Amino acid sequence: MGISKIDRPDLGAGAERVLEKQDFKNLRLEDVDGKDVKYIDCNFSYSIFYRGYFHKAKFERCKFIGTRFVATNFRSATFEACDFSYADFDRSVVPVPQVLANLPSFANVRWDLLHNLRANMRALGDTQHESVLVWQEIDTEIEHWRLVSRGEAGYYRKYSRTERVLARLRHWRLLAERYIWGHGESLMRLSIATLFALVLLGLLNAIGRVGDLASVSIGSMVKLWLDGLIFVAGLFADLPNVNVVEVSESPITSTLAVALRYLSIGLAIPVLYKYISKR
């Protein structure tokens, strides 16, 4: 197999390393040398970059609408007021914080770009910004389903009533996941949600012991709630001193407390796995 020199065009940047108001739409751009080049008001929309090298390049008010980047290196590059709508990155080195500062305004377009960015970074084995991308992507998905359920903006008016109801359910599910366990990213949120559930189960247990709520004083109700909280916490932690009689007298809260134990363990395992795998 022969060896040939790679031709690396600079698209006309020359010694000044500056390109301004240039139109590079609908082009196949291979092995472009963009190192230290400053691009101002340039349009790269619907073009395909192959193996481009843009180390420390600066892009100001440039358009990358529908642009595809394949094995392109943007290490230490900066972007200011750029449009990445419908852009696609494939095995490309991307300064994620820079692209996040230039996300599209429309939720559905932003969601697609964030999903693509996460897949691109995984293909490179780079998980440094994994959590940030996950949160941004899910926050955008929540906004998308909220807009679909409302059907107010022009793009979202095309959805039927049934689709809007389903979108509202997806919106609520994602909100619940955010506060219960941080979309699988936060042990702190899972712990807080578990404690909150135990408090509610303790209250449910206390109410179940009272025949007439109106006849019970606040002090007595607080004591019953604390006793109920200790009881369900003991069941949750599987302590050996749990009273069997109390369990038989409160079958619903007992079952819920045990179910909460296994649910919490099941949710905690993937969170721990993600944390350990990133170390």
CA torsion, points 132, 134, 137, 142, in degrees to nearest 10? -110
For residue 2, is it within any domain?
Answer: no
Q: Are residues 179 and 239 in the same domain?
A: no
Verify that 93 and 120 share a domain, yes or no. Answer: no
Q: What pLDDT shows up at residue 36?
A: 94
Residue ending a domain, among 150, 183, 216, is 183
pLDDT at 233: 87
Total count of domains within the chain: 3
Q: What is the tens place of the pLDDT at every residue in 183-233? A: 777 888 888 889 999 999 988 888 877 766 666 777 877 888 888 888 888
**Domain membership flag for residue 113:** yes
In this structure, the chain runs to a length of 279
Verify that 96 and 48 share a domain, yes or no: yes
* 259 and 209 together in one domain: yes
- Ranges in the chain, pLDDT < 70: 1, 211-215, 277-279
Q: Which of 162, 183, 204 is the last residue before a domain boundary?
A: 183
pTM: 0.72
Which among 49, 69, 102 is the end of a domain? Answer: 102
- Separation between Cα atoms, residue 6 and residue 9, nearest integer Å: 10
- 177 shares a domain with 122: yes
Which residue range forms the structural domain that includes residue 239?
Answer: 187-278
Distances (CA, A) of 36 to 58, 71, 196, 221: 7, 18, 54, 71
